[in-house]
Amino acid sequence: MGFFGFGDPKSMGRVETLIGEGTSLRGSYNSKNSIRIDGEIYGNVTSEDGIIVGAKGMIRGNVIAKSIVIGGRVKGNVTAYQRLELQGGAQLEGDIAAPVFVVEEGAVFEGNVQMEEVSKVIDMSKVRES
């Protein structure tokens, strides 16, 4: 079990940013390091490393990272370059692109899944520019 009880610590770097419970942000958020979200973000979230959405966390926007673990709610498209994990109790409404997709019992997902190598699905140069 990883940092804060989520994911595999070997697949995600140290969490450098914590959006705490009771915090609400509007606008896009980009980070080179891993992020844990226990509050709310209304906008796109991108990390070159990992993103953890805690059980009380919520994102309304697209999520892009190397590894993503969702325990809370996401309404938007999710792209994981290595792995996406929906934990029991997670709610995801949006499309997924990930080479590895893990769903625990109790997770709710509504959307489409594309499980190819992500570099074949998305032009990486355009993701970095946006």
Domain ranges of the chain: 3-118
Strands 50-53 and 34-37: parallel
Residues 76 and 92 sit within 8 Å (Cβ to Cβ): no
pTM for the model stands at 0.82
Separation in Å, CA 91 to CA 5, 77, 107: 18, 12, 6
| 5 three-class SS | helix
Q: What is the spatial distance between Cα 41 and Cα 22, in angstroms, rounded to a whole number?
A: 11
pLDDT, tens only, 37-75: 999 999 999 999 999 999 999 999 999 999 999 999 999
Q: What is the mean pLDDT of the chain?
A: 86
For 104, residues 6+ apart whose C-beta sits below 8 A from its C-beta are 85, 86, 87, 88, 90
Q: Per the structure block, which two tokens stand in for 127?
A: 């993701």
